[in-house]
């Protein structure tokens, strides 16, 4: 009997190990395939060949060229400026919107939420074109032909993409919040706005932070809305604002990715890697906190 | 309202004014309301106006169904719509076929205990998407899959590559919550792995599949950069088609196509919403 059981156990254990190995192999295989394009670009950022696939010896020249390329540096600067400005404004607007809606009547809250949902589900191309058409409409019928496309139209375009997501990340934090805190602040002599600052805002900060980070990534990644709503301004001066997305798109329409941009990809990858590590550390810490809280 | 009236009657105008203007938390949503009306509602209304009008020689807009007739009688445009639907469906299926087992394995404690692996799948999403698309095209070109010669294959590879993380994430969040005891029970009651999957795992993961499909299908149809770059302009999807109309100043036709796109989006939203409702009803029944 004992021998049979131990044989059975051994078989089960062997199956479990086999399952684990095969599972991990599948995960790694897909991961490796997913990273091939980026890894190839990174590898070829250390050689000066115009096309990937030919190796002309190891060098750091592309990194030097990258920082000397005014075009790329201007685009990079524009991209970061727009991301920060639009994200700050979107976070303020969306957070205020969420707080206001939370304390409004059910009907007006539901109305706001269904309109909020439109940009979330809408195709980016439709968002971009409907905005552009409205700006042109405004330009021809109200301004009498004066050019309206500028940094401001681009800012509105990015904010439309971001604010709904800020709203959606702040809303659950408001729902989880203890409503007694605000009342307590009022009882302790705070005015309404003081109570809001000292009791409500600290409670919903994690939601505001994740809304802000999401806004940053949405803005950094955007191409379509930028391409349609941009005008002259920022670091591009009198010329149409060029962001990383629009610059890369213009380049790859004509030919392969320019060599200096391979170096840029490496740098972006390093930044993303650091961000991922920070997110994982933060997540592990909060998970631990939650576990501790539960056991206590 | 009645209290306001009462105060008006008391002739204490300044106090009334202060009472009305005084800070209330609900006023905080007014700027956002105005923003949404100005930049979401009005642009869509303008698109609708352009979709059902035509521009006269004098530059005025008059009501007409010309764009509708033009759209449904143009074989090229209908062709683009059919091809886009087809590509959208194929891409959704491919992403689900690859993403589903990956998400299952990532969520299975017996295979993977580390959240870092999930991060590794999400990370490519944070690298500029135009740059990623260009990289995919260049690498495919190097491997001999040239967009000009194999537009469908190249575009599909690019689409799967781009949308896979968006499929894995919602599937993973559903898989993490799978009821392990139900799966064990199915096994104990004599189900083989295929039966366990069909009767326990698959039904439980339907919400994840629906939201993953939502994340992929419509964005694929309206994608612009991926199809344009990877097929080297050989494959036109609905998104490219809308943009081209506007670039050629065919505002009425372009607006009508944008309207078709909007209609499709709301149709799928309606269908998936019904799905989500069924789910809550079922949960209600269960408890």
Q: Where are the domains of chain A?
A: 1-30, 70-255
Per-residue confidence (pLDDT) for residue A293, from 0 to 100: 61
In chain B, residues with a C-beta closer than 8 Å to the C-beta of A261 are 131, 134
Question: Is B29 in contact with A253 (Cβ distance < 8 A)?
Answer: no
Rounded to a whole number, what is the distance in Å from the CA of B162 to chain A's nearest CA? 9
Can you name the residues that pair with B212 across neighbouring β-strands?
A: none
Residue A39 has pLDDT above 70, yes or no: yes
- Per this entry, what is the length of chain A? 296
Question: Is B29 in contact with A24 (Cβ distance < 8 A)?
Answer: no
Per-residue confidence (pLDDT) for residue A96, from 0 to 100: 93
| pLDDT tens digits for range B194-233 | 888 888 888 888 888 988 888 899 889 888 889 989 988 8
Per-residue confidence (pLDDT) for residue A15, from 0 to 100: 87
In chain B, residues with a C-beta closer than 8 Å to the C-beta of A21 are none
The answer to ipTM > 0.90 is no
H or E element, residue B61: strand B61-63
Residue B18 has pLDDT above 70, yes or no: no
Calculate the alpha carbon distances from B158 to A38, A271, B55, B133, B228 in Å.
13, 24, 39, 7, 11
Per-residue confidence (pLDDT) for residue B279, from 0 to 100: 47
Q: CA B255 to CA B246: how far, in whole Å?
A: 8
Per-residue confidence (pLDDT) for residue A166, from 0 to 100: 95
More confident residue, B274 or A28: A28
> Mean pLDDT across the stretch A52-66?
85
Which residue, among B205, B217, B219, B218, has the nearest Cα to B171 in the 3D structure?
B205
Q: CA A167 to CA A160: how far, in whole Å?
A: 12
More confident residue, B158 or B73: B158
> Mean pLDDT across the stretch A256-280?
91
More confident residue, B177 or B18: B177
**Under a CB-based contact definition with an 8 Å cutoff, are residues B269 and A121 in contact?**
yes
Is the CB of A132 inside 8 Å of chain B's CB atoms? yes
More confident residue, B173 or A6: B173
> Which residue on chain B is closest to A217 by alpha carbon?
B126
B236-239, Cβ contacts within 8 angstroms, sequence gap of 24 or more: B236/B80, B236/B83, B237/B80, B237/B83, B237/B84, B237/B87, B238/B80, B238/B81, B238/B84, B239/A123, B239/A125, B239/B84
Q: CA A17 to CA A286: how far, in whole Å?
A: 31
Query: Across the interface, which of B25, B43, B120 has its CB nearest the CB of A130?
Result: B43
Per-residue confidence (pLDDT) for residue A222, from 0 to 100: 92
User: What percent of chain A clears pLDDT 70, i.e. is strictly above it?
Assistant: 96
- In degrees, rounded to 5, the angle at the alpha carbon of residue B77 between the alpha carbons of residues B71 and B80 is 145
Question: Is A244 in contact with B128 (Cβ distance < 8 A)?
Answer: yes
Rounded to a whole number, what is the distance in Å from the CA of B94 to chain A's nearest CA? 13
> Mean pLDDT across the stretch B250-265?
89
Four-point Cα dihedral B80, B84, B86, B88, nearest 10:
180
B22 confidence band (pLDDT: 50, 70, 90): low
Query: Across the interface, which of B41, B132, B261 has its CB nearest the CB of A37?
Result: B132
> Minimum mean pLDDT among A14-28, A84-98, B35-49, B59-73: which range?
B59-73
Is the CB of A126 inside 8 Å of chain B's CB atoms? yes
What is the CB neighbour count within 10 angstroms for residue B209? 20
Question: Is A126 in contact with B102 (Cβ distance < 8 A)?
Answer: no
Rounded to a whole number, what is the distance in Å from the CA of A217 to chain B's nearest CA? 7
Residue B282 has pLDDT above 50, yes or no: no
Per-residue confidence (pLDDT) for residue A236, from 0 to 100: 79
Query: Across the interface, which of A137, A248, A280 has its CB nearest the CB of B115?
Result: A280
Residue A24 has pLDDT above 70, yes or no: yes
Residue B1 has pLDDT above 60, yes or no: no
Q: CA A246 to CA A75: how far, in whole Å?
A: 9
| pLDDT tens digits for range B93-123 | 999 999 999 999 999 888 888 888 888 998 8
Chains A and B form CB pairs within 8 A to the count of 238
B56 confidence band (pLDDT: 50, 70, 90): confident
Q: Following DSSP, what letter does each residue of A171-189 receive, concatenated?
A: HHHHHHS-HHHHHHHHHTT
In chain B, residues with a C-beta closer than 8 Å to the C-beta of A284 are 115
Q: Helix, strand or coil for residue B233?
A: coil
Is the CB of A42 inside 8 Å of chain B's CB atoms? no
> Which residue on chain A is closest to B132 by alpha carbon?
A38
**Under a CB-based contact definition with an 8 Å cutoff, are residues B65 and B134 in contact?**
no
What is the CB neighbour count within 10 angstroms for residue B55? 16
Q: CA A119 to CA B189: how far, in whole Å?
A: 47
User: Sign of dihedral through CA atoms A192, A194, A199, A203?
Assistant: positive
In chain B, residues with a C-beta closer than 8 Å to the C-beta of A34 are 121, 124, 161, 164
Which of A31, A101, A127, A129 to probe by mutation at the B interface, max B CB count within 10 Å? A129
A4 confidence band (pLDDT: 50, 70, 90): low
The angle that helices B75-107 and B151-176 make with each other, rounded to 10 degrees, is 40
Per-residue confidence (pLDDT) for residue B184, from 0 to 100: 85
> Minimum mean pLDDT among A84-93, A164-173, A206-215, B46-55: which range?
B46-55
More confident residue, B23 or A15: A15
Can you name the residues that pair with B63 across neighbouring β-strands?
A: B53
Question: Is A133 in contact with B164 (Cβ distance < 8 A)?
Answer: no
Rounded to a whole number, what is the distance in Å from the CA of A280 to chain B's nearest CA? 7
Query: Across the interface, which of A123, A163, A265 has its CB nearest the CB of B222?
Result: A123
Q: What are phi and psi of A150, to 5 degrees?
A: -160, -165
Residue A278 has pLDDT above 50, yes or no: yes
Task: Tell which A residues from 258 to 277 touch B, by Cβ distance under 8 Å.
Answer: 261, 264-265, 268-269, 272-273, 275-276
- Per this entry, what is the length of chain B? 287
Query: Mean of the per-residue pLDDT values for chain A?
Result: 88
> Mean pLDDT across the stretch A18-27?
92
**Under a CB-based contact definition with an 8 Å cutoff, are residues A208 and B210 in contact?**
no
| pLDDT tens digits for range A117-135 | 899 888 899 999 999 999 9
> Mean pLDDT across the stretch B21-44?
88
Query: Across the interface, which of B102, B125, B134 has its CB nearest the CB of A257?
Result: B134
Per-residue confidence (pLDDT) for residue B281, from 0 to 100: 39
A296 confidence band (pLDDT: 50, 70, 90): very low
Q: CA B282 to CA B279: how far, in whole Å?
A: 5
- In degrees, rounded to 5, the angle at the alpha carbon of residue A224 between the alpha carbons of residues A219 and A226 is 55
Q: CA B29 to CA A95: how far, in whole Å?
A: 9
A285-294, Cβ contacts within 8 angstroms, sequence gap of 24 or more: none
CATH superfamily of A70-255: MetI-like (1.10.3720.10)
């Amino acid at each position: 009997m004992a021998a049979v059981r131990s044989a059975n156990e051994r078989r089960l254990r062997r199956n479990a190990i086999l399952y684990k190995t095969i599972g991990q192999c599948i995960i790694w295989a897909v991961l490796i395939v997913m990273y091939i394009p980026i890894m190839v670009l990174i590898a070829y950022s250390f050689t000066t060949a115009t096309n990937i696939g030919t190796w002309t010896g190891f060098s750091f020249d592309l990194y030097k060229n990258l920082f000397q390329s005014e075009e790329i540096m201007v685009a990079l600067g524009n991209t970061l400026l727009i991301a920060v400005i639009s994200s700050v404004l979107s976070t303020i607007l969306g957070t205020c919107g969420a707080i206001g809606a939370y304390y409004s009547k059910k009907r007006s809250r539901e109305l706001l939420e269904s309109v909020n949902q439109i940009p979330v589900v809408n195709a980016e191309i439709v968002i971009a074109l409907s905005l552009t058409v409205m700006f042109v409409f405004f330009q021809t019928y109200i301004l009498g032909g004066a050019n309206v496309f500028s940094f401001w139209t681009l800012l509105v375009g990015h904010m439309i993409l971001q604010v709904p997501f800020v709203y959606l990340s702040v809303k659950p934090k408001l729902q989880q919040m203890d409503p007694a805190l605000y009342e307590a602040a009022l009882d302790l002599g705070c005015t309404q706005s003081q109570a809001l600052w000292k009791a409500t805002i600290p409670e919903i900060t994690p939601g505001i932070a994740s809304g802000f980070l999401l806004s940053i990534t949405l803005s950094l990644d955007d191409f379509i809305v930028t391409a349609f709503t941009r005008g002259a301004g920022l670091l591009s001066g009198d010329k149409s604002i060029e962001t990383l997305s629009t610059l890369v798109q213009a380049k790859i329409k004509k030919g392969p990715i320019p060599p200096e941009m391979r170096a840029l990809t490496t740098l972006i990858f390093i930044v993303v890697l650091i961000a991922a590590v920070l997110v994982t550390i933060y997540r592990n810490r909060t998970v631990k906190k939650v576990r501790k809280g539960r056991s206590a | 309202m009645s209290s306001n009236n009462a105060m008006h009657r008391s002739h204490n105008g300044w106090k009334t004014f202060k009472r009305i203007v005084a800070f209330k938390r609900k006023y905080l949503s007014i700027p956002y309301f105005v923003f949404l009306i100005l930049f979401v509602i009005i642009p869509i209304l303008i698109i609708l106006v352009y979709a059902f009008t035509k521009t006269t020689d004098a530059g005025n807009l008059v009501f007409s169904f010309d764009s509708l007739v033009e759209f449904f009688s143009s074989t090229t445009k209908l062709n683009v719509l059919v091809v886009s639907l087809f590509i959208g469906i194929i891409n959704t299926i491919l992403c689900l076929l690859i993403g589903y087992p990956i998400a299952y394995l990532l969520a299975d404690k017996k295979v993977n205990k580390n959240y870092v692996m999930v991060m590794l799948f999400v990370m490519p999403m944070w690298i500029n998407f135009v740059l990623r698309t260009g990289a995919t095209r260049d690498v495919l070109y190097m491997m001999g899959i040239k967009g000009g010669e194999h537009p469908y294959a190249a575009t599909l590879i690019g689409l799967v590559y781009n949308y896979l993380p968006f499929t894995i994430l919602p599937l993973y969040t559903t898989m993490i919550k799978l009821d392990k005891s139900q799966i064990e029970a199915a096994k104990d009651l004599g189900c083989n792995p295929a039966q366990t999957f069909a009767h326990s795992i698959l039904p439980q993961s339907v919400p994840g599949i629906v939201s993953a499909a939502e994340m992929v299908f419509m964005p694929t149809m309206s994608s612009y950069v991926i199809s344009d770059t990877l097929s080297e302009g050989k494959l036109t999807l609905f998104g490219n088609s809308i943009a081209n109309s506007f670039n050629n100043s065919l505002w009425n036709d372009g607006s009508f196509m944008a309207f078709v796109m909007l209609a499709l989006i709301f149709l799928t939203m309606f269908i998936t919403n019904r799905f989500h409702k069924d789910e809550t009803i079922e949960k209600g029944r269960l408890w």
